[in-house]
Amino acid sequence: MQLLTDEIKRKMISRVFIFFSCLFVLGGCMYNDEPMPEIVHSPSSESRIIPPPVIKPKQGWGSAYKNIPGNWLPPLQLEKKWVAVVIHHSATEKGNAAIFDKLHKEQNHWEGVGYDFVIGNGTDSGDGQVEVTFRWRKQIPGAHCGGTSGNWANKDGIGICLVGNFCYRVPTARQMQSLLKLVRFLQKRYGIPRSRIYGHNTTPGARVTACPGKKFPMSRLKSMLNF
Ligand SMILES: [Zn+2]
């Protein structure tokens, strides 16, 4: 009888032990199932002000101008500071950089085409095609806007010529799209505001000319610039 009682006691003790063991394990599980505490921002992290990245001129521009043709960027070791853009028409129905280069050499006895960029109208180059001339590649003064004080417009102004005669017709839509893209690029690159984007005839000090023609949409172009 005593043996039986001891046996019962042992069984009871082991069951109680198993019961509490289960409680302990379940308790652990329950603890683990508790929802995660909400993450709240401490006042110190909220009040922390992250300063905007410092964008220095000529740094990081590559990513900002992803679709800019590589030849619009002059060789960095030659690059100079430009202060204005002067827009011209060719006053011819047709043409391209090579044709104007030949013309300016033969007729004017210049070193070559006077402009930095020539934008085609679909005749002798693509409609809206931007040609980069040796003047831009070498970063040397242009020969496109005579008469200004100290020749500043040729020395420090970027000459862009659109093929066509805008005394009689407007530039093509593609020419204007390319011009807008090119001018925006040059503005950003050199910090040139729209007030220094000139037509040849409105360049301060320039000799009287009809260029770039009364049908050239200068005010519309300026309205589409960012600054
Ligand atoms: Zn002109």
C-alpha 58 to ligand 1 mean position (Å): 29
Task: For residue 20, give its domain range.
Answer: 1-34
C-alpha 76 to ligand 1 mean position (Å): 28
Comparison of pLDDT for 51 and 177, the residue scoring more: 177
C-alpha 75 to ligand 1 mean position (Å): 26
**pLDDT tens profile 128-152:** 999 999 999 999 999 999 999 999 9
C-alpha 2 to ligand 1 mean position (Å): 124
Same domain as 78, residue 13: no
C-alpha 14 to ligand 1 mean position (Å): 105
Same domain as 131, residue 28: no
Same domain as 179, residue 111: yes
Inside any domain, residue 64: no
Number of domains observed in the structure of the chain: 2
Q: Is the peptide bond before 212 cis (omega within 30 degrees of 0)?
A: yes
C-alpha 130 to ligand 1 mean position (Å): 17
Inside any domain, residue 157: yes
**pLDDT tens profile 57-89:** 444 444 446 689 999 999 999 999 999 999 999
Inside any domain, residue 39: no
**pLDDT tens profile 85-123:** 999 999 999 999 999 999 999 999 999 999 999 999 999
Are the beta carbons of 133 and 88 closer than 8 angstroms? no
What pLDDT does residue 134 have? Answer: 98
pLDDT grade for 10, boundaries at 50, 70 and 90: low
C-alpha 142 to ligand 1 mean position (Å): 12
Inside any domain, residue 196: yes
What phi and psi, each to the nearest 5 degrees, are found at residue 117?
A: -135, 145
C-alpha 184 to ligand 1 mean position (Å): 20
pLDDT grade for 21, boundaries at 50, 70 and 90: very low
Residue from 91, 114, 84 nearest 198 by CA: 84
C-alpha 17 to ligand 1 mean position (Å): 101
How far apart, in whole angstroms, are the C-alpha atoms of residue 221 and residue 138?
28
Are the beta carbons of 180 and 72 closer than 8 angstroms? no
**pLDDT tens profile 181-206:** 999 999 999 999 999 999 999 999 99
Sequence-distant (6+) residues with CB within 8 A of 164 are 89, 90, 92, 93, 121, 171, 172, 175
Same domain as 129, residue 29: no
pLDDT higher than 50, residue 16: no
C-alpha 90 to ligand 1 mean position (Å): 7
Same domain as 111, residue 216: yes
Same domain as 200, residue 117: yes
Same domain as 78, residue 152: yes
C-alpha 68 to ligand 1 mean position (Å): 25
